Amino acid sequence: MHSAQGQTEAAAGYLKKASRIEIQLFNFCISCHGSLILRFGSMKPVIVVHGGAGCIFKEREDGSRSGVIRAALKGYSILKQGGCALDAVEQAVALMEDDPHFNAGCGSVLNQKGEVEMDAIIMDGKNLASGAVSAVKCIANPIKLARLVMEKTEHMLLTDYGAQCFAKAMGVPEIPGEKLITERSRERWMKNLEPDSNPHKFQTDLGTVGAVAIDSEGNVACATSTGGLTNKLVGRVGDTACIGSGGYADNHVGATSTTGHGESIMKVVLARLILYHMEQGMSPEEASDTALNWMKTRVGGLGGVIVVSNSGDWAARFSTKQMSWATVKDDQLYYGIYTGERLTKSFEEALTSEGF
């Protein structure tokens, strides 16, 4: 029987001589081998969350950083207790929807009429099931409604009035729209109504939220939620609710959630593009950078992504000035906002410091 070192050296020698097609086949075999291992329940859970890519004002950095840390801790706690990836990403995103530091749920930006319209998506990598809602109003947690669409209907996306009727039928509480509007969102909306204002100047200082995870069974999932663009046209729907753009999950590859300029993300189908690059043998980090660079050069769009592979590797990458993100793997928390920033503390220490 060959030693582990001998096998590693043989594999390295083979890769040096292999063609690109052979490398892809090699990676596919490794992926399949990893999938077999997962079926025996030996996968270590991982969660990655983001609080939106763009420009985060200095006075909001601490709140944004704390928000993604708390979301990651919440999701990882579910995974650590044997919970599924779907529950982990849903609860992590719901926590950020309740946090006014983010452009999702309470804290969402306003459309031209001064109303909140929200989009959300959730996807199960096991069977490619997905549920989404768009242009929904008076709902505290659109991500929970998106999951109901996935599990209680034969459809994948409900919008506006139809989503509202479905929410009522499912017993989802309706809340006054005013409860979702923060003073900050209202001030920005009013500022952007002024004749000489430029709404696009502030389109990237509040963030969409998202989460990806892999559980101990090897199943992956993604979830994304947003309030969209400031002073957008009534009824505008961005990338978030669109499968393959705002998020995608497939146990054969991994899961990703995106953030940034929605129209640009839709043009390149960013979430699925990243997983495509991973299928060609790229690491999550390489695939993320390649896809973000393509979006920038092809359509001039900026954004950010979080990714987890079906082997538990992860990435948090962005082409904007900042993106708040956090991940927990092997009981270790990692988090950051700026390019190259990667702070860390133990899971237990983080739980204590965040008051869990």
Cite the active site residues. Answer: 208
Q: Is 298 annotated as a binding residue?
A: no
Q: Please indicate if the annotation marks 299 as binding a ligand.
A: no
The pair of structure tokens assigned to 226 is 């947003």
With beta carbons less than 8 A apart as the criterion, state whether 259 and 268 touch: no
In this structure, which amino acid lies at residue 118? M
Query: Does 236 carry a binding-site annotation?
Result: yes
What's the per-residue H, E or C state across the chain?
A: CCCHHHHHHHHHHHHHHCCHHHHHHHHHHHHHHHHHHHCCCCCCCEEEEEEEEECCCHHHHHHHHHHHHHHHHHHHHHHHCCCCHHHHHHHHHHHHHCCCCCCCCCCCCCCCCCCCCEEEEEEECCCCEEEEEEEECCCCCHHHHHHHHHHHCCCCEEEHHHHHHHHHHCCCCCCCHHHHCCHHHHHHHHHHCCCCCCHHHHCCCCCCEEEEEECCCCCEEEEEEECCCCCCCCCCCCCCCCECCCEEEECCCEEEEEEECHHHHHHHCHHHHHHHHHHCCCCHHHHHHHHHHHHHHHHCCCEEEEEEECCCCEEEEECCCEEEEEEEECCEEEEEEECCCCEEEEHHHHHHHCCC
Residues 6 or more apart whose CB falls under 8 angstroms from that of 354 comprise 66, 69, 70, 73
According to the annotation, is 260 in a ligand binding site? Answer: yes
Residue 226 near residue 118 (C-beta atoms within 8 A)? yes
Q: Please indicate if the annotation marks 272 as binding a ligand.
A: no
Backbone CA torsion sign across 58, 141, 249, 133:
negative
Please give the structure tokens belonging to residue 230. 């400031």
Q: Is 301 assigned a ligand-binding role in the annotation? A: no
Question: Per the annotation, does 65 bind a ligand?
Answer: no
**Is 261 assigned to a binding site?**
yes
Q: Tell me the binding residues for substrate.
A: 236-239, 259-262
Q: Which residues does the annotation place in the binding site?
A: 236-239, 259-262
